[in-house]
């Protein structure tokens, strides 16, 4: 029986690498997947899932107006879709997450979504909140704090090398803009360690 999975973490936990690996594993067995990523994240080119380790893969870009069901139904041929994979799932709308539940419940296709849970202000993203409500399985992908050895549970935004705790929710960026941190280091980051390294 198909399920909706939400696999979340802070930045730098290997979410994109994991989703590329899952797509490869399905396709190595001759099973077709649909891979989606947020149109807004164009750091590696629009419509690509890319890992910091250098692996990159083409994906279907989505925005707030994208109907995943419509894309699925117009995917070209009658070949069965074995799994839908979504990177940057925090950028989904609540309506799109409900659409994913319909794909799982009525089309019997598993959906695996990877993304951030909370933003740099520690507010939930709309997509993440909906996934926490509707997902059948919620799994944390762990990573370590940039400044200490504790588990990173938060995202620290840097603007001109200084912590930022206010501003727009979405600012696309990598390590120069965001760091995975624990709760303690979120409020008291040891920024001198960045400048030394």
Catalytic annotation on 88?
yes
A 10 A CB-CB count for 84 gives: 24
Active-site choice (18, 27, 79, 88): 88
Least Cα distance to 38 among 58, 61, 17, 55 occurs for 61
102 Cβ neighbours under 8 A, 6+ residues apart: 69
3-class DSSP assignment, residue 7: strand
Cβ-based neighbours of 46, under 8 Å, separated by 6 or more: 39, 61
- CA gap 160, 177 in Å, rounded: 8
User: What residues have CB less than 8 Å from 27, skipping those under 6 apart?
Assistant: 33
Residue of 184, 111, 114 whose CA lies nearest to 147: 184
**Tokens representing residue 60 in the block:** 């279907």
Residues belonging to the active site: 88
């Amino acid at each position: 029986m198909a399920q909706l999975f939400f696999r979340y973490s802070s930045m730098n936990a290997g979410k994109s690498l994991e989703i590329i690996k899952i797509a490869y594993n399905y396709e190595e067995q001759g099973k077709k997947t649909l891979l989606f990523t947020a149109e807004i994240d164009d750091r590696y080119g629009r419509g690509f899932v890319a890992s910091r380790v250098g692996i990159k893969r083409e994906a279907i870009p989505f925005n707030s107006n994208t109907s995943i069901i419509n894309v699925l139904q117009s995917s070209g041929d009658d070949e069965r879709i074995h799994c839908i994979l979504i990177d940057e799932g925090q950028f989904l709308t609540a309506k799109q997450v409900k659409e994913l539940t319909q794909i799982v419940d009525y089309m019997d296709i598993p959906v695996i979504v990877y993304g951030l849970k909370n933003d740099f202000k520690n507010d939930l993203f709309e997509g993440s909140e909906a996934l926490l409500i509707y997902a059948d399985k919620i799994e944390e992908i762990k990573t370590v704090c940039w400044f200490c050895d504790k588990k990173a549970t938060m995202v620290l935004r840097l603007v001109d090398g200084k912590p930022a705790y206010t501003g727009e929710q979405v600012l696309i960026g990598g390590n120069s803009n965001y760091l995975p941190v624990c709760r303690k280091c979120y409020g008291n980051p040891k920024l001198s360690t960045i400048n030394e390294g």
